[in-house]
Amino acid sequence: MSNISRRQFLKGAGVATLAVAAAGVLAGCGNVPGTDVPDVPEVTSVDLRVNFVDDQSGEGVGDSVNGIFETKVLKGTKRYDPKLIPAEKLPEGYVLSSTDEVDIINNGNMNIANVPVHKGASKSTVFLTLMFTTGGVQPRNVEVTVNKVFDLKSNPNEMINYDDVKDSLLEKCKDIEPDTTWVSYLQIVNGGYKATVPLTVALKG
């Protein structure tokens, strides 16, 4: 390549790059989500419709408003990263079933990515051991429901206290007077969590 043609080539490439960047600025759309590439519709990006589907049935979740998420991806991209979806855009009460990338398909009219979701937990099952101060009464194992979700994988030292179990416990055991200062660590067991510290109680009367 001659020096002149080389200079012309580099100049042309530079102009094209600046044109793409300028178009992105003029469009006022910033960058393609998840990238540093200026968003220029049909040049650097294409529209993508994310459909939220139940991870068991594969059926759509939500409606035409909260059951989809409209976004953009780099032109030519074949897979979509669900981690790019803002939490507030998920259907109410649902969470991502997986953060693995999903295929992008084109149905002839639009680009689509089906992202599996499932109902998020709002309650936890906790197994307690009641230790009686009343003489001759054997310890009692009780299963209670707590209006709280624990995450021991990210916080192994998460604790539970009397206020967490109070409502469910007193509904099941109406004959006790618990120690209201009780706190305990938890361990993961089959079916829920087990409090590692017994809850001291006395029999009423």
* Domain spans in the chain, listed from the N-terminal domain onward: 3-119, 124-203
What tokens appear for 123 in the block? 């309650």
What tokens appear for 143 in the block? 């299963």
* Confidence at residue 25, expressed as pLDDT on a 0 to 100 scale: 47
Beta strands 94-96 and 111-119: pairing type?
antiparallel
Q: Which residue has the tokens 């507030």?
A: 88
* Confidence at residue 65, expressed as pLDDT on a 0 to 100 scale: 78
Residues of the chain under the 50 pLDDT cut = 9-11, 13-27
Give ∠ CA 115-71-53 in degrees, rounded to 5: 20
From 116, 114, 104, select the one nearest 46 (Cα to Cα): 104
What tokens appear for 27 in the block? 């469009």
Statement: the pTM of the whole predicted model exceeds 0.75? no
Where on the phi/psi map is residue 136: left (φ > 0), alpha (ψ -120 to 50), or beta?
A: left
